[in-house]
Structure 1
């Protein structure tokens, strides 16, 4: 759609002085959003619209003794603190959000992403199983010249200023997939590039799926936070939406 103010010239002239049109910055942000691969369903997530009512005050984590509500408060604060730190120094430590399906992990990760995109920061959101499928697909025969290669995918994940690895879950990881994840994590650790991870695996069990090398590096790079619910938030929100 053509800008109604500048006609897509990118500038406006007032009193014989040229000024950049507001559409230039908006187009830049839109492009950042596109290359970040944030799912459309999460593009409006913000820390201000994180809903604490879904986290029970009387349901407790047996490991920490904290309620679901208290755990959510800690994770929410960690997300806000990370945004502030990253804006000051993009070589800061990352975060690892763990919890069962429907506990708000991806929502929090996307809150971070959206806040940083508004500050014109470059990042990549990738769902781990999808990334692994994309890597495998680069081996298909008959690919045309100029198509994305395994190296292209890996280098982007390694070098982007902030990487969000969503759903690093309890999948059937092979030695090949473990090595690809290790390659990304190890590079980012060595270059002090932060990563945000969401996983439905308990911290004590991650090594079983990813191996000792990757797990050790993840825990060195990321501060862990647990989200716990006695409901599936997605299911509850679906019922709320249907009842309107």
Structure 2
């Protein structure tokens, strides 16, 4: 009886150990499931199912998961380098209270409606510029500077908001988009040029801007001028001009001060590309009224 009792005790110990192991495995499995954003495909973006073929045999099939479209859009947004403050920018959230805002909105809307027809032509781009450039204001006497800024303000009109909304619109329709902020991008290019990596990072940045299907260039001409930067502006704009690749740009410079920042040759190319969708605007800074 003692032998039987001892054997029974061993069985009970093993059973308890097995129960704890199964609990641990279940908890691990549940934790893994909780880490998935999509339980249906476990983040593979593909779901498998069975189907009966023409010979009456059950065969394994696969199809895109319902989550894939959203994931693709998220990757495009990330690759587009959209600033975090504008991730929620949409056309329906753009304020159209002033005549300037209405003009910007309608111009962008008309451009996007005709995008399919113009994208492969020489006049396939869009530009929002200032009526009285930032450089021109800085060159005024200090006493006149503040007044000129008030009378000819080009900041806070919602140009970047519309550019980001346009980026999302185009990406949803399958176009690859890159959005760059001039000051940051040009400084990154110059810094990459100085790196000791056989210019790999420099060429990656430069070629991405040159070759992406749609380039959205925010605050063009913001970066401090240098001969090296002027050469880079021309390389990017000329390449895109010759290969019929659109540029959607905004600038707080005007038609005379912008070439002082990016070069006259680059400006000539750019204005030729955007001749049908180029407007100069000024108005109240909506950020100061919020």
Answer whether TM exceeds 0.5 for this pair.
Answer: yes
Aligned to 1:175: 227
Aligned to 1:130: 184
Aligned to 1:36: 80
The within-5 A match list for 1:143-162 is 143=197, 148-162=200-214
Maintained 8 Å contact 2:182/2:222? no
Correspondence for 2:288 among 212, 230, 235: 235
- TM-score, with length taken from structure 1: 0.81
Structure with a larger share of its residues in helix: 2
* Residue ranges of structure 2 left out of the alignment (5+ in a row): 1-34, 52-60, 131-153
Aligned to 2:126: 95
What is the Cα deviation at residue 84 of structure 1?
2.5
Q: Deviations over 1:62-107 (max 9, x none)?
A: xxxxxxx1x3323212211222233455325111112312121111
Q: Deviations over 1:100-126 (max 9, x none)?
A: 121211111111111112223211000
Correspondence for 1:164 among 195, 198, 216: 216
Aligned to 1:121: 175
Maintained 8 Å contact 1:163/1:195? yes
Aligned to 1:5: 40
Count of aligned pairs: 219
CA distance in 1, matches of 2:234, 2:196: 28
Q: Find the residue that maps to 1:218 and give its secondary structure.
A: helix
Q: Find the residue that maps to 1:149 and give its secondary structure.
A: helix
Relative contact order higher in (CA < 8 Å, ≥ 6 apart): 1
- Distance 1:213-1:9 versus aligned 2 partners, 3 A rule: closer
The within-5 A match list for 1:97-112 is 97-99=128-130, 100-112=154-166
Does 2:268 match 1:216?
yes
Q: Find the residue that maps to 1:96 and give its secondary structure.
A: strand
CA distance in 2, matches of 1:87, 1:14: 37
Aligned to 1:49: 93
* Residue ranges of structure 1 left out of the alignment (5+ in a row): 56-68, 238-244
Aligned to 2:30: none
The within-5 A match list for 1:11-90 is 11-12=46-47, 16=51, 18-53=62-97, 55=98, 69=99, 71-87=100-116, 90=119
CA distance in 2, matches of 1:131, 1:9: 34
Greater Cα offset, 10-19 or 30-39: 10-19
